[in-house]
Chains A and B, each alone.
Chain A
C-alpha cells in the first residue's frame, strides 16, 4: 500500500512538473510577445514623434528663409507670394503639432514641447505684426527688426524643438534598452524554467524508477511472505491432521477425507485395533507402548502405503481407505494382510512385543446416505463385535 501511495505521489509530481513547465513556457511566450508589442508601439511612437519634430524644425527653417527674403525686400519667390508661403508653412506646423500631440510622450518631453510651442507662437505672432512692414520699410529697419526681434525667437524655437527631439530620442533609446532588458530577463527566466523542468523531470524519472524497484522488491517480499504463510498453514494443517507420535494422518484427517468421499464414490474402508495394547502399556510403560506403535505404523506405511490412505485414528487404532481401483475381494485380502502385519512381533527396547488385532471392513456405497460419524460408528461396532467374539479376527460388514 505504501509503495502504491509513493508511486502515486511521484506520478503526481511528474505531472505537476510537466504542467508547470508548459505553463511557464506559455507565460514567457506571452510576456515576450507583450514586451515585443510594447517595444514596437513605443518605438513607432518615438519615431513618429521625432519625425514630426524634425519636420516642424525644417518647416520653421523654411519660414525663416522666407522671412529673410522679406527682409531683403522681396515679396515673391519663384512665382509664389512669400507671405502666402509663410502662412502655409505655419499651417503645416500646426498640423505637425496636432500629429505630435496625438502621440504618447513623457511629461518632461511635453514640457519642453510646450515651451517650443510658446516660442513658435511668439515667432508667428511677431511675423504677423511685421509682415507688412518688412518688405516696405527699407533694409536697415527690416534688418533691425529681424536681428533684434525675429531671429532670437526663431533661435529659441529651434533650440526648444531640438531639445524636444533629443529628449524623445533619449526616451526611445531608454525604451529600447528597457525592452532589451525585459526581453533578456524573460529569456533568462524561460531558460531557467526549462532547465528546472528538465532537472525536475529527470529527478522525477529517477524517483519513478526507484519506486518501481521498490514495488518489485515489495512484491517479492510479499510473495515470500505468502509462501511462508502457506507453509505455516500447511504445517498447521498437517499438525492438525497428523498423529504426533506415529506421523500418520489422524482422525481429523480421516473425517475430512471421508466427508469429501462419502456420497461421491464407493470405497473400502478397514479399521484395526490392537487387542492387547493396553497390557503393553501397563506392563512396559507408555514409552515402550509409544515406540511399539511407531514400529507398527512404519511397517504399515512401508508395506501398505501404496494400497490406500493410512490413518492412526487413535492410540492403537489404525484405518485404511483403499484405493478406488482395489476391489472388494482384494480389499478383504489386503485388510487381512494388514491385520496380520500389525500383529506380527516387533522388538522394542529389546522386548519382543506382539498383540492380536481385530478389524472391520466395509464397502461403502455413495447411495447409502451415511455421514462420517455413522460410518465410523458402524465400523467401531463391528470391531467391538470382533473383540467380543475373542478378537484376532476380521469382520466384513455386510450391506
Chain B
C-alpha cells in the first residue's frame, strides 16, 4: 500500500473526487443566489425600492452581467425580465427563493450521498487490500501477529479513514477558495490590513499544527493502546480455560483495568491539549479584528484610511474565520487519519508479507511436484541457537513413501515443516526437480502440497464444508443468471473497489480434482474416505442426529418412512415392542413430555419451545377448551411442592439442579412464594402464577419423574386436547410446530426420531443399546447407511471444531488433505490423537489413498516404518537415508527409542 494516505486516495478515487468537486463548484452560484434573495425580497418588493420612482411595474428576472471596473465596467443585458407589479414581484421573488432552496437541497443531497459512497467505496477497497495482505503474512510474521488486533485494524481503525476520504480533497478546495476570496477582498480594500490578516493566519497555520504534533503523538499511543486492548481481550478469551483453571480472574481483571486507565489517561491528556489548541485558535482569530480596530481605527482617525473601507474590511473579515476554522479542523482530521493510516500500514509492512505472484506466473508453474527432491546444506537452529540441522543434505526420487524418524528432538518436525513450506528462516536449498520449493507461488503450493500438523484447523461450518475446503480454489461456473441486475451491480461495484468479482454463490467446488462427477459423487467419495479412516461410526451417529430436507430429497424421505415401518415390524417380530413407545395420534405417549404429547409435533420456533409454550395464547386457548388448564396447574403445584421440598439445601448452581430439577435454583424462592399464596386458600392464584405453574408439567414424563401425577382419565384428556391444539395452531396460522404424521417425514425432528417414530422406554434396562442395534440392522438392510452418513456430513463442527473430539478433528483434517489428491502429503503429528494400533492402520490406509503420489510421515520411532520406501534419520545434525529393515531383522535388535510412547509423537 502507498505510504501516503493522500496518494492512496488520489490513485484510487481521482475521477470521483473531481466529479464531486465540480458539482460542489457548480452549486456555489445557486448558494449565493439563495443568500442574496432575502435581501432583494425585503428591499425591492416589501420596502418597494424597485418602485421608488413611482412606476407601477418593475422588471422581474432581469439578468445583467456586470464586468468589474478593472475589466472596463461594461454591462451586458442578458434578459430584460418580465414587467410585474409589487405583489407580483413579491410572489415571484419568494417563489424564486423557494426554487433555490430546493435546488440547494438537491445539490446538498447529491453531494452528501456522493461523498458518502466515495468514502465507503474507498473503505471497502482499503479493507479488502488489508485482508489480502493478511493472507500474505509470512509464517514468521504470523507468530507475532495477534488475530484480534488485526481484526480491529481492519474493522475499526480504518473506519474514520473512510469517513475522511469523502472530504479529503473537496473540503480544502472549497473552504480554501472561500478563505482566499475573503483575504483577496481585504487586500483590495487595504493592503496593510490585508497583510496583517495574512500574518495572523500564517501564525495560526504554523503554531497550531506545531502544537498539534504532541496531540498526534498521543493519538498514536492511544490507537496502539486500544488495539492492544482488543488483542488482550482476544487472548484472554482464547485462553479462558487457563484463566479458569488457575483462578487468574483477579490478575486478568487488574490487567485490563490497568489498560483502561492508560486509555483514560491518554484521552484526558488529549482533551487537555486539544482544548488548549482550540482556545488558542479562537483567540488568534479574534486577534485580527482587534488589530483592525486598533490599527485601522488609528489610521481612520488620522485620516489616512477611509472609514467606509475599514467597515468593508471588517465585514469581509467576518466571513473569514468560519472557513478558516473548518480548514484547520480539516487539517487536524487529516493528520489524525494520516497517523491512523501510518499505523495500519506499519502493521502490514512489506517485510512481513510474502511476495505477490501474478496469476499468469502461477499457471506457468503449476506442474506436478515430482522428480528428485534435493535438499542441500540445510542449516537451521532452534530458539536457543543450538543447531538442529547442520549442513544436512539428501536426495530422494519422488513420488516416494518416506518415513521421517524422529530422534526425540525437533529435527523431524522441523524438516517436515520446511518441506511443507511452513517454515522460513533456514539456510540451504530445497528443490524438486528444477524448481526451488520456496519460490513456488502460494497457489501452486497450496494446490499440490498438503500438510497435516498436530493442530487440525477447522472452520465453523459442517464437516462437509471443512472436507472440501481444499477444493475451492476458484469459481468454475455460475449457477445463477449472471445478467440479473443485482448481480451486475455487485460486479460493477467490485471492479470499482478492487474487490474480487467472484461470487461465493458460484460453483467453486472442483469436483474433478477430487475425482468426482458431481455433488452426489463427491459425497460418496467423502463418506467412503471417512469410513476408511475409521470415522464411519461417528459419521453415522452424526447422521442420525441430523436433519433431512424432504423437499430436496423426496426419494430418501420415502425410504426413511419405509424404514420406519420396517423397524416397527422388526420390533414386533423380535419381542422388542416394549422397548419403544411409538408416536400414535390416538394414544398417549408415556415416554415423552406432556408438551410433546399435546403438540404431537416438534416446535420450530422458540415461541413453542420449553416453557414459552405456557405463554402462547393459542396454545393456552386450546387447553382451556380441552378443560385441561386446572389439571395442569394442579400438577404444577404438586411438582413445585416436591421440587421445593427435595432440592432445598442444595447450593444454587449445583449440577444436580441443572440435571434434574424442574425449577432452577434462582426460581426456588419464587415458587415457594406461589405455594404459600396458594396455601392461604382465600386468595385465588393470579394469572401470572397460573402460567408459571402451568409451565412446569409441560416437561413432565411419568416413567422418568415418577411423581404419580398422571392417571388414565388425564391421559385421555391430553390426547383429546392434542387435536384441539393442532386446530388452534393451524387456525392461527402459526408456523411454529411441525406435526407428526406416521406416513411422512417430520423435517424438524432429527433423523433418529424419524426412524424410530417413538421414544425409547426409560424403564427397560439397556433399551438404548438394543434399539440402536436394531436400527443399525434395518439401516444396513435397506442400504440407507450411506445416505445417513451423507446427512452426517452436515454435522456442524463448531468454532475451531470444538464440537468434535480430537480424533474426529484429526480424521477430518486428514480427509481434507487427502481428498484434494496432493502430489505430496506431509503428516507431522496428525496421527498423534490415535493409539498405536489405530495410527498404524491409518498409515496403511493412507498408503492406499496416496497411490502413485508422495507421502511423508513423521514417525516417533521405526516400529511402523516397514512399509515405507525410505527412512530419513537424524544423526548429529546430519540427515541419513536408510532402507527400511524387515520386521524379522528388527526383532533381533530392539529399537533404541522403543520405550517412547506413541502418544508422544514428537512432532
Q: A and B: real partners?
A: no
